[in-house]
């Protein structure tokens, strides 16, 4: 919500925007997903509830625009395997498979074991991402820090294509906005698998319980100890959801030691619940309307395809594959 959707909602007023449900990407780690269509529809409901407006943005499903897969194939010839193995996502997935945390170094045997579980499709997913971007000749990509290496690969692929076949693609730039990175309730990265999330579907009570557990400035022992909001996860919530005036007050009072963490957490929880309240109401209004959602996605896919097919025709022309 904070890292992606809130940002997308703003961007759709400033740019011609394309947002897609990445169902091909989902299959790279969950190969036989019986729920993939249902999950895609549910994801679209989340987007609509967050404020993505299909009249302003093109909202579609990746697999319904076959040019993504076709361009992926063309791009797969422009990469070597060691480059893809160096992608942070590849290493992260190996660590995940071996149940290793953080930056733990892997032994040669562990790497061999993990590699044998990873598919050709998984290894190529940064290349598919490049195709997802360049098929629209997109020039600005809203990404989080963790996706910057993937965008760098996209830029490399654009350069290699342009050098090999002729100048066709722009080198897209990251559209990074300053959004606070909200940590999970246990101080680790927020992730469903760590059970440390505060989901938009939570009730006000559940939100309060979650925020209560969040890690604050650990150097602050007594209520009147001066604190450092930059060391506090709750302050990041304020930065995301409290008004500008409230953020200034929280920062000042925390530093001066005139604010209790309990009250501060309650205030952050209330701001979050207020935001979630509107979301939940809109999400509820889409329940039982799967047919309408499919219509929105089908219309979006049709619009996306009209752009993507033009690019693909140019790609084939440049690669001398037009007949």
> Measuring CA to CA, which residue among 101, 268, 94, 114 is closest to residue 194?
101
Under the criterion CB under 6 A, does residue 241 sit at the interface with ligand SF4?
no
Considering the complex, state which of residue 191 and residue 218 has its C-beta at the smaller distance from ligand SF4.
Answer: 218
Are 228 and 218 in contact by the 8 Å Cβ rule? The answer is: no
Under the criterion CB under 6 A, does residue 43 sit at the interface with ligand SF4?
no
Shortest separation between residue 256's beta carbon and ligand SF4, angstroms: 10
- Tell me, residue by residue from 191 to 230, as one string, x for binding to ligand SF4 by CB under 6 A and - for no binding: -------------------------xx--x------x-x-
Of 11-19, 46-54, 114-122, 232-240, the window that binds ligand SF4 (rule: CB under 6 A) is: 232-240
Q: How far is 243 from 182, CA to CA, in rounded Å?
A: 17
Under the criterion CB under 6 A, does residue 135 sit at the interface with ligand SF4?
no
Shortest separation between residue 5's beta carbon and ligand SF4, angstroms: 25
Considering the complex, state which of residue 161 and residue 235 has its C-beta at the smaller distance from ligand SF4.
Answer: 235
Under the criterion CB under 6 A, does residue 27 sit at the interface with ligand SF4?
no
Shortest separation between residue 272's beta carbon and ligand SF4, angstroms: 13
Are 200 and 5 in contact by the 8 Å Cβ rule? The answer is: no
Under the criterion CB under 6 A, does residue 254 sit at the interface with ligand SF4?
yes
Considering the complex, state which of residue 132 and residue 217 has its C-beta at the smaller distance from ligand SF4.
Answer: 217
Among 264, 296, 304, 308, binds ligand SF4 (CB under 6 A): 264
Contacts of 101 (CB under 8 A, 6+ apart): 95
Terminal CA-CA length for the chain: 46
Among 2, 130, 232, 304, binds ligand SF4 (CB under 6 A): 232
Question: What b/e readout covers 171-185, taking b as 16+ CB neighbours within 10 angstroms?
Answer: ebebbeeebeebbbb
Q: How far is 11 from 272, CA to CA, in rounded Å?
A: 21
Contacts of 76 (CB under 8 A, 6+ apart): 124, 127
Count residues contacting ligand SF4 (CB under 6 A)? 14
By the 10 Å C-beta count (0-12 exposed, 13-18 middle, 19+ buried), 224 is classed as: exposed
Q: How far is 70 from 317, CA to CA, in rounded Å?
A: 14
Under the criterion CB under 6 A, does residue 261 sit at the interface with ligand SF4?
yes
Residues that bind ligand SF4 (CB under 6 A): 216-217, 220, 227, 229, 232, 234-235, 250, 254, 259, 261, 264-265
């Amino acid at each position: 919500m904070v890292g992606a959707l809130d940002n997308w909602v703003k961007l759709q007023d400033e740019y011609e925007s394309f947002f897609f449900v990445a169902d091909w990407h989902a299959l790279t780690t969950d190969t036989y997903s019986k729920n993939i269509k249902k999950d895609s529809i549910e994801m679209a409901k989340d987007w609509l509830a967050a404020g993505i407006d299909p009249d302003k943005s093109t909202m579609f499903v990746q697999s319904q625009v076959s040019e993504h897969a076709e361009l992926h194939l063309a791009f797969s010839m422009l990469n070597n395997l060691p480059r893809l193995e160096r992608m942070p996502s590849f290493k992260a997935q190996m660590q995940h498979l071996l149940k290793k945390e953080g930056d733990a170094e892997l032994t040669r045997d562990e790497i061999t074991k993990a590699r044998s579980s990873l598919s050709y499709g998984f290894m190529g997913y940064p290349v598919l991402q490049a195709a997802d971007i360049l098929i629209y000749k997109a020039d600005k990509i809203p990404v989080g820090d963790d996706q910057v290496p993937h965008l760098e690969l996209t830029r490399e692929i654009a350069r290699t294509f342009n050098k090999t076949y002729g100048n066709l693609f722009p080198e897209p730039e990251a559209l990074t906005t300053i959004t606070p990175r909200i940590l999970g309730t246990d101080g680790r990265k927020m992730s469903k698998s760590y059970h440390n999330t505060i989901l938009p579907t939570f009730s006000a009570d559940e939100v309060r319980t979650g925020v209560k557990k969040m890690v604050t400035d650990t150097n602050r022992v007594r209520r009147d100890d001066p604190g450092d909001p930059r060391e506090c996860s709750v302050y990041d919530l304020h930065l995301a959801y409290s008004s500008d005036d409230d953020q200034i007050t929280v920062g000042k009072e925390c530093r001066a030691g005139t604010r209790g963490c309990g009250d501060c957490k309650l205030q952050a929880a209330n701001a979050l619940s207020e935001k979630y309240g509107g979301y939940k109401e809109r999400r509820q209004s889409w329940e039982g309307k799967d047919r309408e959602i499919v219509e929105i996605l089908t219309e979006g896919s049709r619009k996306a395809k009209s752009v993507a097919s033009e690019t693909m025709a140019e790609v084939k022309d440049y690669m001398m594959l037009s007949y």
